Chains A and B, each alone.
Chain A
Amino acid sequence: MENNLNDRETLGQFVDALLAQKYPGQPAETYKEERETAIKELDDEIGVAIFGDFTPEQLNEAGRLMTNPQTSEAELKNFFVNAGVNLEQRTAEAMRKFAQRLIGGNNA
């Protein structure tokens, strides 16, 4: 994740917004560590949400596609579509669950 600043910033902003809700009025420094951990955890959970249901064969195929410089984005997208994985939906669901858990179960 560290190699992909855009994604990290995006997740960081999402987490920031959640933490600001969780700790209203508190300076960001007080939950700095939690922020970093949360970003990593969110990142991890999104990964699991997307690839978690894949069989080893599918994972292998995904790896083959992603490591092949000739693979187009459309091909990669088709792979997920054929695998029955709605990328955006799964990612959103992972983030929603994460947000619920981070802020508090009764609130969401």
Chain B
Amino acid sequence: MPNPNSAPFGGSIYETVNNEKYEEAEKDINRRYNVEDEAGYDDDEVVSSFSINNDFETGGAAGERTRGEKRAAGERTLNREMINQRWEEFKHSTLAKVVLTGALVTLAVGAPILTILNYRNKQKPKEEPAPYTSEAPEIEQPEITLDTEVEDTSAEEEKQVNVYTGIEKFDETVDGSFKQYDDIGMNGSKTKEEGDQYGKVSKNAMVATDALLHEYMDTDLENATVEQKAKAMEMSCYKQASSAAAFLISVQAEGFKDMDYLRAVEKIENASEEERNAILGMLKGYFDNAEVAEETVNEVRQTLATTGQNSEYADYHLYRNRQTGEAEYKNIKTGNEEKVLTFKYKESTTVTRTTRFLEKCGNIFQMVEIYDEETEETTYEITVYKYEENDKKDPEAEKKNMGNDYTDVQELDEETTPQTTEDQNTEPIKNLEEQKAQDDNKAAEDQTEKERQAAEEEAARKAAEEAERAKLEEEQRKAAEEAAAKAAAEKEEAQRKAAEEAAARQAEEEALRKAQEEADRKAEEEKAHAEEMSINDEARDAEDWANGDFALPGDQGGDGLSNLNLNNNS
């Protein structure tokens, strides 16, 4: 998306110039051709003397051509200036970055050209560098003055001891995911020695991952789990050094800065819909090209089978180990042609993964488990042996005779040299009984190994279950405690409330009782008073009657009867 605060596509630089240039160019075309056409020139007329500074497509202006051709060439020349300008502008866009990335991915999937070229170059050593030719006349042709004698370093390589520690290098560059991949395959920013080594690793990783990627081709990404998608992303990064870098650029553009597996999972899970679609769209490109890739992978496998490059596969694990930082890796060229690689691990999962991979790829190898009592550490040493011609004739026989030796050695004596599978394979099998015994031995060893692995897995499963159960119990206990505490609190609160209510009720009743008593007392007093008043009235009436006052009781005097004197005879 354009950034309004800057010139997103270089617009501020080119906009005015381009428009002016184009207008001039258009006028020039009209002036030079259209006017002439209108004047009656025939485009098919051959005009050998009419030379135009032609450009990229026709490779020059020499030769007889028609006016129409030259006109088209002239237009192209003028267009070319605009093309360059447009390209300069376009390069600054995010879209260009995505396009370049997609192109590299497409290139890597459709034709892992580097891998195939490398193989074919090996088969047919160059006597001299291919001449550098360019069809673009604007660019000055470089004069190639390279030493045409390719130095034979094979003898030197035999003696070479390459020690890849990897982990330190990974840590140095862990700040940027791009550099993580950069340092395994790109020479530019490295010393020669580093560049050579990393380049070699990168190349090997390419081949190995071509094969591995094939395994994921059957996955339906649309319906894949998040982990599968992340794995596919991871695989795509291993695919080729260039595509790995390209993919990372793309991923970075989508906001996925770190590209190891687990973080990829996390990023995808948290990605927006748009981001997911962008990633999946790119990944789907791999699957759309599955058939092509399959051919390529098969060719690579054949290449490896005929050249005995087991290390191509083994180096893949170097890369993995460098990512995880879990294992120490040593790539040792011992000078013994039979012994191709030895690498040591301290992490059993890596060993299992490695041995499975080596076995799947048809390698001959030996795995030795060494336990160090002092450090109480276990080291797994895998030695890969060269793939003998005799071993490849019959895949089934090869598998039987291979006898990959998983030797479980406790406290291995340092001076003990384990019998190599190579020895086993090169010794002629005397008779069928011997072969059978060997097969049985191999089967027994395989069975033992399987049982050991099964036991380990079972133990791990039980431990996990136990941990889960303990965790569950603890959770239940905590829940029960919390529930009890809550119930007690609630009960206490209820009791408190009930007590308060009872007290309030009692106080109310007391108040009512007191009010009633007061009312009763007052009523009693009034009654007593009324009786007293009544007695007094009767006494007074009696006295009045005695005195001849015949007013009726209650007569307040003054009305009819109270004035009646019944005893007056006069």
Collect the chain B residues with CB atoms within 8 Å of residue A88's CB.
Answer: 99, 102-103, 106
Residue of chain B at shortest CB distance from A14: B242
A-B contact pairs, 10 of them (CB 8 A): A3-B10, A10-B101, A17-B185, A17-B240, A30-B147, A44-B136, A47-B87, A59-B82, A73-B2, A87-B103
Q: Mark A1-38, 1 if CB is under 8 A from B, else 0.
A: 10110110111111011101111111111110110010
- Nearest-Cβ distance from residue B142 to partner chain A, whole angstroms: 4
A2 to chain B: closest CB distance in Å? 10
Interface 1/0 per residue, B1-19 and A, CB below 8 Å:
1111001111110110011
Neighbour of A92 across the interface among B15, B83, B104, CB < 8 A: B104
- Alpha-carbon gap, A3 to B9, bound state (A): 11
Instruction: Indicate with 1 or 0, residue by residue over B51-89, a CB within 8 angstroms of chain A CB atoms.
Output: 000001100000000000000000100111011111111
| Contact status A34-B117, CB under 8 Å | no
Query: Which of A12, A55, A59, A87 is close to B86, meaning CB atoms less than 8 Å apart?
Result: A59
Q: Which residue of A lies closest to B55 (CB)?
A: A48
The residue of chain B having its C-beta at the shortest distance from the C-beta of A27 within the complex is B192
Given contacts A13-B188, A68-B11, A88-B106, contact A96 B83 (CB under 8 A): no
Of residues B2, B129, B132, B186, which shows the largest number of chain A Cβ atoms within 10 Å of its Cβ? Answer: B2
Q: Contact: B18 with A34, CB < 8 Å? A: no
Residue from the list A18, A62, A70, A89 in contact with B2, Cβ < 8 A: A70
Q: How far is the CA of A56 from the CA of B30 in the complex (A)?
A: 13
When the two chains form their complex, are residues B103 and A41 in contact, meaning their CB atoms are under 8 A apart?
Answer: no
Is B325 close to A, CB under 8 A? no
* CB pair A105 B130 closer than 8 Å: yes
| B144 adjacent to chain A (CB < 8 Å) | yes
> Does B246 have its Cβ within 8 Å of any Cβ on chain A?
yes
| Interface pick from B108-116, B381-389, B441-449 | B108-116
Residues of chain B with a CB closer than 8 A to A107's CB: 116-117, 120-121
B182 CB to nearest A CB, Å: 8
In Å, the complex CA distance between A77 and B97 comes to 12
Contact B86 A16 (CB under 8 A): no
Are A21's CB and B142's CB within 8 A?
no
Tell whether, in the assembled complex, residue A21 and residue B26 are in contact, meaning their CB atoms are under 8 Å apart.
Answer: no
Q: Mark A37-69, 1 if CB is under 8 A from B, else 0.
A: 100110111111011101110011011001111
**Shortest Cβ distance from A62 into chain B, in angstroms?**
5
Q: Which residues of A contact B (CB under 8 A)?
A: 1, 3-4, 6-7, 9-14, 16-18, 20-31, 33-34, 37, 40-41, 43-48, 50-52, 54-56, 59-60, 62-63, 66-73, 76-77, 87-92, 94-96, 99-108
Q: Check if B151 sits within 8 Å of A25, measured CB to CB.
A: yes
User: Chain B's nearest CB lies how many Å from the CB of A82?
Assistant: 14
Q: Are the C-beta atoms of A4 and B92 separated by less than 8 Å?
A: yes
Q: Secondary structure at chain B's binding surface: helix, strand, loop or mixed?
A: helix
User: Is the beta-carbon distance between B144 and A34 smaller than 8 angstroms?
Assistant: yes
Q: A24-B121, A71-B2, A94-B103 are in contact. List 16 more A-B contacts (CB 8 A).
A: A6-B249, A10-B245, A11-B100, A14-B242, A25-B196, A45-B136, A47-B87, A59-B86, A60-B19, A66-B86, A76-B93, A91-B100, A92-B106, A103-B130, A104-B126, A106-B124
Q: Nearest Cβ in chain B — how far from A89, in angstroms?
A: 7
Bound CA–CA A3/B114 (angstroms): 28
- Contact B87–A51 (Cβ < 8 Å): yes
Which residues on the A side are within 8 Å of B261 (C-beta)?
A: none
Residue of B whose beta carbon sits closest to that of A90 = B103
Contact A72 B2, beta carbon cutoff 8 Å:
yes
Residues of A within 8 A of B15 (CB): 63, 67
B91 located at the interface, meaning its Cβ lies under 8 Å from any Cβ of chain A in the complex? yes
Our pick among B82, B138, B144 for the contact of A63 (Cβ within 8 Å) is B82
Q: Which of A63, A77, A103 contacts B117 (CB 8 A)?
A: A103
- In the assembled complex, the Cα of A103 lies from the Cα of B187 at a distance in Å of 17
On chain B, the residues within 8 Å of A22 by CB distance are: 121, 126, 129-130
**Contact status A37-B139, CB under 8 Å:** yes
- Asked if A3 contacts B92 (CB within 8 A), the reply is yes
In the complex, what residues of A have CB within 8 A of residue B88's CB?
47
Known: A10-B246, A88-B99, A89-B106. A69 touches B86 (CB 8 A): no
Interface pair B1/A72, CB less than 8 Å apart: yes
Contacting residues, chain B, for A23 (C-beta < 8 A)? 129, 146
Determine the distance from Cα of A105 to Cα of B129 in the docked complex, in whole angstroms: 12
Complex contact A41–B136 (CB within 8 A): yes
Question: A3-B10, A105-B130 known; A10 and B117 CB under 8 Å?
Answer: no
